[in-house]
Amino acid sequence: METQIQEKINFSGVIRSVQPRSNVWRYKLYNRTHSTTGYNVFLIGTANGTECEFAVAISEKQQEKMRFHIGDEISGTAWTKKYAKWEYADYYRAGSLKKILATKDLGEETASPWKDEVPPLSVYNWRGCRMLDTRSYKGKCFTCKWACMANVTIEYNWGVSQKFRFESFCYGPKNCKLYKMGKPRAVPYKDCGSDYDEGWMDEMCTERRGDDE
């Protein structure tokens, strides 16, 4: 995987969304393994003096300490990403985090999109997730704590080469009125063309919970 020269930056901004930082490993249609390694905090503000929208990856311990919510104004430092094709967040290795201005406690949401405080990563891992339509992710689902854009690694030639892309997923209740799976997703493998994940693995990933969980 190609690497980029890294640079430490200063950032500040208002939080637009807090989502799990998820990693997915795909191998044909035999395996779709999910894991979580922290959170992605999406902001609108300034990064190294430039006004923009951007995402910063933080650890679970940092979220436990800071309890970031949508609407909080925060600042900190971070590094530009090392692997552009693999890491969805614009910056990671965040530090010197400060909450400049806290929004009011959002409490418990009763309808989607759920915008209250994100749960521990163990909750996401237990719930499992389903494929989420990309347009839905970028639209009404973007502010939801159950939505995410995952870093996806495709085992293209076992032990030899991999492909990388980003895919949107949903950890939310199965009966959410906003949910749409979207189109089946191609999973290529060397000399075999592409198989398509049509959603049947979603059932396996979420089999622990009912429609309203």
As a dihedral over the C-alpha atoms of residue 14, residue 16, residue 18, residue 22, rounded to 10 degrees, the angle is -120
Q: What is the pLDDT of residues 182-199, one digit of tens each?
A: 999 999 999 988 899 999
Of 37, 46, 50, nearest in space to 86 by CA: 37
Q: Which residues contact 61 (CB under 8 A, 6 or more apart)?
A: none
What is residue 205's predicted lDDT score, i.e. its pLDDT? 92
pLDDT band at 211 (very low <50, low <70, confident <90, very high): confident
Q: Are residues 129 and 181 in contact, defined by beta-carbon separation less than 8 angstroms?
A: no
Given a cut of 80, is residue 5 above it in pLDDT? no
Higher pLDDT, 104 or 116: 116
What whole-number distance in Å separates Cα of residue 109 and Cα of residue 145?
10
Given a cut of 80, is residue 106 above it in pLDDT? no
What is residue 85's predicted lDDT score, i.e. its pLDDT? 80
Query: Which of 4-13, 148-157, 171-180 bottoms out in mean pLDDT, i.e. has the lowest?
Result: 4-13
What is residue 108's predicted lDDT score, i.e. its pLDDT? 65
Given a cut of 90, is residue 105 above it in pLDDT? no
What is residue 18's predicted lDDT score, i.e. its pLDDT? 98
Higher pLDDT, 30 or 81: 81
pLDDT above 90 covers a percentage of the chain that reads 83
Q: Are residues 24 and 151 in contact, defined by beta-carbon separation less than 8 angstroms?
A: yes
What whole-number distance in Å separates Cα of residue 62 and Cα of residue 121?
12
> Considering the chain, what is the average pLDDT of its residues?
93
Whole-model pTM?
0.93
Q: What is the pLDDT of residues 22-70, one digit of tens each?
A: 999 999 988 999 999 999 999 999 999 999 999 999 999 999 999 999 9
What is residue 29's predicted lDDT score, i.e. its pLDDT? 87
What is the domain partition of the chain in residue ranges? 8-205
Task: Label the pairing between strands 193-197 and 185-189.
Answer: antiparallel
